[in-house]
Structure 1
Amino acid sequence: MQPSFSLPHLNGWEAVVTAGAVLLATLLTAVVLNRLFFHLAAGLARRTGHPLALFLVDRLRLPSRLLVPLLALILVLPSLNLAAVAQASAEHLLTLVFIAALAWLATGVILASRDYLLTRYGNNGSDDYKARALETQLTVAVRIVVVLVVVVALAAMLMTFAAIRSLGMSILASAGIVGITVGFAAQRSIATLFAGLQIAVTQPIRINDVVLVEGEYGNIEEITLTYVVVKIWDQRRLLVPVTYFLEKPFQNWTRRSSELLGTVFFQADFSLPVERVRQQLHEILLASKKWDGRVWSLQVTNATERSIELRALMSASDAPSVWDLRCEVREKLLHFMLDTFPESLPKARAYLSSDRTD
């Protein structure tokens, strides 16, 4: 189809200057219109306050800066009356970049949808099992969809080459043999990908879960299709293959809830008045902001020939609070015993006999 508007046939520098001016004017017009559109869209989104609109404007702003000028160039290119070879080469190049821009735009829509769902149904800092489960599923699902978008875009770009299209027909005929060969060669990688999908469905771990892996305590920070990032308490990062969480045992302290119990052990002399220490423990817990009020107790859990063992039990809303509460209780009970019952601290007894035989 011939364009409704076309430039007159020019030669030499006139043609180059005219084509350049038309392209420059087209680009400037597209850029200005795109900025104006997103300026109005951002203002409308802020006035309505709808989170999805805000996320879409934020995520699509950059892809549109490439997509809109490209679309304008594709529309104006037939009007430039370029040479046939130059016209075909320019159209092919613009088509390739246009496919990449569309993939970028689709990725922006996917990420904006994810951000909206996490904002509406995600974890807001409290211990919400369903919210953490949704965040984990969305994280893995979005990665899968983005990978599919990239693969489809690359396939579409390759299919614009005539040589690759003809090669594709011959490859399709031997796809069974190639598939078997690739399957054997990449079976470990494929197994890892399927393990990532299984974790997203069965969810032995979720984002922000507190876990103990290989003797290291930390939080699940990121879940990908091939590995999991565990944020260790001292700010280190432990990268663990996803297959680890399906093949080896590990501790998940927040599988159903983040509420935990903590213990503090003491050694004391037999003369210690246990009931008085028990009352002091209750007073310490009542005054602490870390205690959630669910569980507390003080029990004598062992007795040896030299001392008794006391176990203080307490509860908190999450793992960091349990750790801080244990340290607080240990410190304050030690001060209490030192100040009030110093004679009841652990001691070694020795009995000396004064009987002598001549």
Structure 2
Amino acid sequence: MSTVTALAILLGSVLLGLLVVEILRRVLTSRPVSRRPLAPPIARRCGKPAFVLAFATGATAGLPPREVLGRFTADIRHALSLIVIASVTWLLIQAAYAATDVALDHLTKIEGDRNVRARRVRTQVMLLRRSSAAIVAIIAASSMLFTFPAVRAVGAGLLASAGIAGIVAGIAAQSTLSNVFAGLQLAFSDALRIDDVIVVKGEWGRIEELTLTYVVMRLWDERRLVLPVSYFAQNSFENWTRHTARVIGTVLLHVDWNVPVEELRTELYRFLREHPLWDQKDWVLQVTDVTPNGLVQLRALMSAHDSASAFDLRCDVREHLVAYIRENHPSTLPRLRTDMDGPNAWSENRSENRA
């Protein structure tokens, strides 16, 4: 076989493989097929690994014989086999991600009472697919290493000392393994989910990312707090959306004793009925305390669909009540009383009255 013929066969095999992948990609992105929920994510995620696999497979099938490439034939075939293993692994991982993307997109759109269960399933699916991808990648890397004869020879010796190696590896990877098991524990015990509102170390935020080793928490001011998963398994934290995203907000006011509580209660209810953030469920206005400096403490409670809405609603209620008291009952604003006659005035006045 001449060199020109061998190269023509090689080029034809590669082009044929790439052509097949391109035809499949165009079919998936065509208008009739793209309406199916699984077609767009497969076309988006699997395109690049499929082209790499087609190139490696076509090159392997059309590889010229030894008399054309000479002593480099074995090395080229070995390199192509490594590319095939890597591209197959890449394709499998991306296909699994594409299949789960459909479910995750559907779960993200669920609101209301089913939102808690949807976030739990979403967290578990994301952790499972990451775990599966890691396992597949480890198996693929092992397969690639064992294509080298020297590694296969070393592997027999490693199997003989697997017990000692396992103990050493377990001690070295103790921290990593504890994080992995803690991540699985959090996900399947339903203690922590994606989009949960939590308070950790005095910081309030939402769970943005939950992996097998770390948790990313998006704080209210757009900062990111990154903590190891084992922290949540070993320390206590507040989860405001454990069973439901609904939150009750609190507003405290300190006013004079002359404040008309019943009128304020009526005004609070009128304001809440017209506010879009109130979920039309819980509200109350109560006198909860009498302070030593001669003021009374009013506590207004109101419920909202989630913590962000509750915070905005609390601010609006506080602002409205302060403005209402200032405009309609300015005499009930907080005041400090001072005895101008001194501490002994009462006993002196009592003695004069007796005389």
Q: TM-score, normalised by structure 2?
A: 0.91
Of 77, 96, 103, 1:91 maps to 77
SS in 2 for 1:314: strand
Of 77, 81, 92, 2:63 maps to 77
Of 189, 196, 203, 1:216 maps to 203
Is 1:211–1:252's contact at 8 Å kept on the other side of the alignment?
yes
Is 1:204–1:245's contact at 8 Å kept on the other side of the alignment?
no
SS in 2 for 1:51: coil
Alignment partners' CA distance in 1, 2:296 and 2:314:
20
SS in 2 for 1:349: coil
Is 1:212–1:250's contact at 8 Å kept on the other side of the alignment?
yes
1:172 alignment counterpart? 159
The 5-angstrom pairing of residues 209-288 of structure 1 reads: 209-288=196-275
67-76 or 234-243: bigger deviation: 67-76
103-112 or 188-197: bigger deviation: 188-197
Is 1:19–1:80's contact at 8 Å kept on the other side of the alignment?
no
Is 1:258–1:317's contact at 8 Å kept on the other side of the alignment?
yes
1:66 partnered with 2:36: no
Q: CA deviation at 1:166?
A: 1.3
Q: CA deviation at 1:24?
A: 3.4
1:101 partnered with 2:84: no
Q: Which amino acid aligns with 1:307?
A: L
Alignment partners' CA distance in 2, 1:323 and 1:137:
29
Alignment partners' CA distance in 2, 1:22 and 1:139:
44
Q: Which amino acid aligns with 1:112?
A: A
Q: CA deviation at 1:151?
A: 0.5
Gaps of 5+ in 1: 1-7
Q: Deviations over 1:59-90 (max 9, x none)?
A: 21111111112111111115574345222111
Alignment partners' CA distance in 2, 1:199 and 1:82:
59
Alignment partners' CA distance in 2, 1:352 and 1:232:
50
Alignment partners' CA distance in 2, 1:79 and 1:147:
37
1:26 alignment counterpart? 13
Q: CA deviation at 1:308?
A: 0.6
Is 1:31–1:69's contact at 8 Å kept on the other side of the alignment?
yes
1:291 partnered with 2:278: yes
Q: Deviations over 1:312-350 (max 9, x none)?
A: 110000000000000000001111000000011011223
Q: Which amino acid aligns with 1:195?
A: A
1:324 partnered with 2:312: yes
SS in 2 for 1:293: strand
2:104 alignment counterpart? 118
1:50 partnered with 2:36: yes
Alignment partners' CA distance in 2, 1:189 and 1:136:
20
- Number of matched residues? 342
Q: CA deviation at 1:351?
A: 4.3
For the aligned residues, what is the CA RMSD?
Answer: 2.0
208-217 or 347-356: bigger deviation: 347-356
2:28 alignment counterpart? 41
The 5-angstrom pairing of residues 312-351 of structure 1 reads: 312-351=300-339
Is 1:137–1:200's contact at 8 Å kept on the other side of the alignment?
yes
Q: CA deviation at 1:118?
A: 1.4
Q: Which amino acid aligns with 1:126?
A: E
Cα 1:170/1:140, change in 2 over 3 Å: same
Q: Which amino acid aligns with 1:346?
A: P
Q: Which amino acid aligns with 2:240?
A: W
2:134 alignment counterpart? 147
SS in 1 for 2:38: helix
Is 2:14–2:62's contact at 8 Å kept on the other side of the alignment?
no
Q: CA deviation at 1:125?
A: 5.3
Cα 1:52/1:180, change in 2 over 3 Å: same
SS in 2 for 1:347: coil
1:205 partnered with 2:192: yes
Alignment partners' CA distance in 1, 2:210 and 2:337:
57
Q: TM-score, normalised by structure 1?
A: 0.90
Q: CA deviation at 1:136?
A: 0.5
Alignment partners' CA distance in 2, 1:126 and 1:241:
29
Q: Which amino acid aligns with 2:306?
A: D
SS in 1 for 2:133: helix
341-350 or 27-36: bigger deviation: 27-36
Q: CA deviation at 1:215?
A: 0.4
SS in 2 for 1:68: helix
SS in 2 for 1:313: strand
Q: Deviations over 1:28-65 (max 9, x none)?
A: 34333321221123216x44622122222222111111
SS in 1 for 2:68: coil
Alignment partners' CA distance in 1, 2:340 and 2:185:
70
